[in-house]
Structure 1
Amino acid sequence: MKVVKALNNNMVLVRDENGNESICQGKGIGFQKKNGDCLEEDKIERRFIPENASESRHFQELFMEIPDEYWEIAEDVLEYARKECNIHVSDRIILPLCDHMAGSIERSRQNISLDNPMLWDVKKPLVKKIEISAPLTGKVVRMAQIPDEGFSSGALGEGVAILPEDGNVYAPADGVVTSMMDTKHAIGFTTDDGLELLIHVGIDTVELNGAPFEYKTTEGAHVKKGDLLMTADLKAIEEAGKKIITPIIVTNSEDYVSVKATDSVNVQNGDNLLTVV
């Protein structure tokens, strides 16, 4: 990728070999860079890909106006949320977070205060919180502890897992059964709020060809929270050499700001399991 121009010390506008422009962020990647310089891709920490020329200009203006220290503060906020609060925060919020901080600090410097009507607007929730209930009873297993990299890495989405005490799988919210597998080991579900879930009973259980599983609903069915979706013979799964840990994954995690799992060690089906905003 070739540098088009440096927006600040940590931001550059680049163009790839196909002529597509994007804005790359990384510590010091804009320092002394000029048009035509090559950009070291291993130094890129984040990329912003505008949808059109107008959005590209808007992004460039924002990046040039926001001081470097605000980006560092925003990075610290995201890191704190992830490590200290166990909140899976999307990288996409860093730009609005920086912009919000810059605007707030500038208003403070100019001694501009918000009047009461605006304060009322600020106090109102800006995002909708979606609660997802536990579809099974058992022990909560954190993402990083799921013994399958496809799940633990977050590649399929954010979520949590349950080590179940029994094989009954219930609807975690009101919604529609959107996908059922020939091997019956998993079920896709979309809540009435549009949140997409994958409930995957066990690890590598696709290899069991459906023997320990039985669906109790049909694809396309609208179900209520707590309706029985499927059953699994946990003993048969373990005797076949498979783990019964069951991931519950928000497959459209990127559509949300955060996916936070319950702090509880154990859950009953119907208990709050995930909070998504």
Structure 2
Amino acid sequence: MSLISCGNMALTVSTSTGSIPGHLDRCGNPDDTANYVLLLKTLRETFGASGSKFGLTFTTLTSYWYLRWFDLPKMLQYADRISVMTYDLHGSWNADNPIGNIVQGHTNLTEIKLAMELYWRVEIPPSKLVLGFGFYGRSFTLSDPSYNSPGCTFSGASNPGLCSATAGILAYYEIQELINQHKAQKKIEAISPIHDRDAAVKYFTFGKDQWVSYDDKDTFKQKVDWANSVGLGGAMIWASDLGEYTDTA
């Protein structure tokens, strides 16, 4: 990683694309734990010397497998908040997972609560944590369309969306277009999203063997209410350009 100075106004942080500390298969190395602390320290000192007031946050994940390489207490000495990616918990990459290639919501409030305990165990204050939302859904091709509930098997990623053009993912606006299209065309069987209230996520099947999970205004509210109840410091969204133009979420 490297720091490129841009005068007193900003810094650009350059890292290996998709790197995860400590994981050699994701461009990481064992020195990352100490280096990430040093990176934040250098950023904070540089921001302070600039005479401008900059906020500084860093982004982390929900899995102990990855979090064990982050020295969160030391990193937070130099940062204002930690943005936690509480989405992408499951996807088509789980095909080789020991628990099996099963469809699951890519976000799940029950799992999020367990993940936050990892932060609290190392005494990270809830007020320093930012809850992450995804303005998209993770999608699959079902092995058997007759079995379409969470826990049923998938054969691979879903077909690409018309605009997102990537297998296994649908933008929020693409999801809403699917629902509205089926409502408008009476010859097509209507889509009836299922609201898993415990997980605070919705899902539905379409095109016979396609399955997608996602958040909307109902599940966002569930998560926001929980975040407020435990005193989290805020929320973030990835990404605003994936949202529906009428802002239904």
Same fold (TM over 0.5): no
Compute the TM-score of the two structures, normalised by the length of structure 2: 0.28
Q: Which has the larger radius of gyration?
A: 1
Report the structure, 1 or 2, having the larger helix content. 2
Compute the TM-score of the two structures, normalised by the length of structure 1: 0.26
